[in-house]
Structures are given as C-alpha cells and as structure tokens.
Amino acid sequence: MSITKHYPMQFTGAGGEYFVIWIVNIALTLVTLGIYSAWAKVRTLRWFYGHTLLDNQAFSYLATPMQILKGRLIALAALVAYYATSYFAPMLALLLLLAFFIAMPWIVVSSLRFHARMSAYRGLRFDFIGKLGEATVIYILLPLLILPTLGLILPYMAYRQVRFIAGNTVYGQTAARYAGSLKPFWGVYLLAFALLVLPLVAVGYGFYHAYQLQAAGLPKEVAGAAAAASIGGGLLFFYLMLPVVSAMIMARTANLLYNATELGPVGFMSSQRARDLIWIYLSNLILIALTLGIYIPWAKVRLARYRAGHLTVTGPQDPGQFTAGQQQGSTATGAEMADLFDLNIGLA
C-alpha cells in the first residue's frame, strides 16, 4: 500500500540578497542602454527559481540571456513598428493591431511553452503541449463574447484558461490532468460582480438623490453638490474595490488550478486567501511609495514567500519516479512579446 506524503513548498530567498541583484541589474541595464536587461531577467529568474524548494530540492531556470535578448528585440521591433505607423499611417497601425490580435493564440502558446521548457526540477524539464486551435477559441473567440454576454462569459473563459494551462503541462514524460469543474468559477466571478456592482449602485443613487432634491424644490446648486458627493463617493468606492476583487480572483483561481490538478501520482494543495493578498499588495504599495521604490525587492520576495508557503505537494514517499521526456527547441519571442505588451499569461 502506497503512503502519501506532504511536501510543503519553500521560498528561502531574502529581500536584502535580492536587493543587491536588483540594484546591479538596474545600473547595468541603464549603462548598456537596455541591452543588459536580458541578462538581468535571467539572473533574477535563476535566483527566484533557485530559492524555491520542494523536498529540499531547488528548481532551475535554463534559458540563456541570448535567447531572451533575441526574443526581446523582435518584440521591441514589433512595438516600434506599431507606434511608428500609428503616427505616420494610422490605417496601417490598425492592421498591425488586428494582426497582433490574430497572433494572440501563438503568443500565448509560445510563451507558455518557452517558460515551461526553460524550467526544471531534479534534472527534468517541464513542457507545454497546448494546441493553437484550442488557444484560438480561448483567447480570441471567447473574449469577443464578453460584451454581448455583459461579462457573463468570464467564468467560463477563466475555467477554460485554467484547464488549458494545467491540462497541457508536462513534467518529464508525465502529463498533468485537470479534474476541476466550471461551477466554482461561477462562485468566484459572481462574488466579484457583486462587489463591483455595490459602488455602482451608490453612483446610481447619487443621480436619483439629485433628482429627488430638485423635485422637492431645492436649488440646483444644493442638489448638484449632494449628487456630486454621492457620485464621487461611489466612484472612489469602486476604484478601491478593484484591487480587492483582483486579489480575490487571483487567490481563488490559483486554488482552483492547483487543487484540481494531478501530475501522475502527485497532487497539489493550495490555500491562498484573498485577504492575505490584499494586505500584502496594499502594504507593499505603501512601503514602496514611502521608500521611493527601494522596497520593491522585499515586496517581490514577500509575495514569493507567501505563494510558496501556501502550496503543498502531495505524493509518494519517493518523489523521484518521473522519467525525462524528449525536449524540442523553443524561442523566447512569444514570451517576450507577452511581457512587453503586459499580457497576463499563466497563473501564480
């Protein structure tokens, strides 16, 4: 009879140690007019991977700076071409924007594949085997339905994204399997909708209150001031709710991803909480502002430590039962385009 063992993830990096890497990376990137940024990215990721431990074994990041630099230059050339054409030839810029939208599935798959193949644990690499056809449905067709469905497609879209990412991840020769259902995603997004609707109701009440005051014969200035106060308060409430809703969605989506994913005999238990992430993001933001950005390395380390500390791997007594798979080449172009255009691909 096999005995299941729990392997808590650990992050052992210290903010002070990362600060040295971070400040040197910034200095060298500035001195080299951005060229060193590829080396900076590799150095940073190797540090974070190397301090992420599972069963006292560190993860490895295998990409080289030249791979990152080549992909970054191609992505930068695409960005420069878009901005140049938007100034000199707006119609051509629209065509480039359309081409970028059509290329989204390739960017997503390429980015996920590159990051997976450049990641390793115990000498075995990860891989991503998602297909462009499925990515096209998830990242082009479903987003086109957001407006017609008034956002009600979002839970299904998030579910398909999670299933696509988790279900197409491979470690060695072992493919992951995602066993989650759509129902919990509805709970996450209905709560998010409710939290965002509350401040909008306050805004609507502001207009209604102004109408009532005018109907009661009060001067327009008095009614307008009262309406402005209600509307302003509602809008402020709305913007304050955005990070709360974002943290809630990220925490619960991460839990839904990990808790329903199996990798051969290995399972996962994630216990992230929205209120914890809200506090981390809020306090990090305040400390970064107070230190004029100096706290950024400690903020990143703090978040990495929290995420690792709330993830546990469950599996057999001997976790080294996986075999290596055949790896193919991969370029960083899609990954760098995703980073350059600030696309949120993947899940924490």
Q: What is the pLDDT of residues 178-208, one digit of tens each?
A: 999 999 999 999 999 888 888 777 777 767 7
The pLDDT score that the predictor gives to residue 344 is: 46
Return the structure tokens found at 245.
């809703």
Lowest mean pLDDT segment, chosen from 2-11, 22-31, 134-143, 158-167: 2-11
**What's the mean pLDDT when you consider all of the chain?**
85
Residue with tokens 């940024």: 37
In a domain, 216, yes or no: yes
Residue with tokens 């140049």: 84
User: pLDDT category, 337, cuts 50, 70, 90?
Assistant: very low
Lowest mean pLDDT segment, chosen from 159-168, 171-180, 211-220, 278-287: 211-220
Q: Are 9 and 258 in contact (CB under 8 A)?
A: no
Which are the contacts of 339, defined by CB distance < 8 A and separation ≥ 6?
75
In a domain, 195, yes or no: yes
In a domain, 306, yes or no: no
Residue 308 half-sphere exposure toward CB, CA atoms < 13 A = 21
The pLDDT score that the predictor gives to residue 70 is: 84
In a domain, 244, yes or no: yes
Q: How far apart are CA 211 and CA 158, in angstroms?
A: 40
Q: What is the pLDDT of residues 274-323, one digit of tens each?
A: 899 989 998 999 999 999 999 999 999 999 999 999 999 988 766 556 55
- Nearest one of 100, 113, 119, 148 to 45, comparing CA atoms: 119
- Beta-strand runs (E) in the chain: 5-11, 52-54, 57-61, 119-121, 124-128, 169-171, 174-178, 261-263, 266-270, 311-315
Domain, as residue range, for 244:
181-254
In a domain, 239, yes or no: yes
* Number of independent structural domains in the chain: 1
Q: Are 332 and 67 in contact (CB under 8 A)?
A: yes
Beta bridge partners of 120: 60, 125
The pLDDT score that the predictor gives to residue 340 is: 44
In a domain, 226, yes or no: yes
State mean pLDDT over 29-51. Answer: 94
Residue 15 CA, chain-centre distance (Å), reads 22
Return the structure tokens found at 247.
């943290």
Instruction: Tell me how many degrees the CA angle 243-247-251 measures, rounded to the nearest 5.
Output: 175
In a domain, 194, yes or no: yes
Q: How far apart are CA 33 and CA 35, in angstroms?
A: 6
Please determine, for residue 266, whether its predicted confidence score (pLDDT) is greater than 70: yes
Other CB atoms within 10 A of residue 139 CB: 22
Q: Are 337 and 107 in contact (CB under 8 A)?
A: yes
Return the structure tokens found at 158.
């998030």
Helix (H, G, I), strand (E, B) or coil at 324: coil
Separation in Å, CA 223 to CA 31, 124, 215, 228, 231: 58, 68, 10, 9, 12
State mean pLDDT over 250-254. Answer: 93
In a domain, 217, yes or no: yes
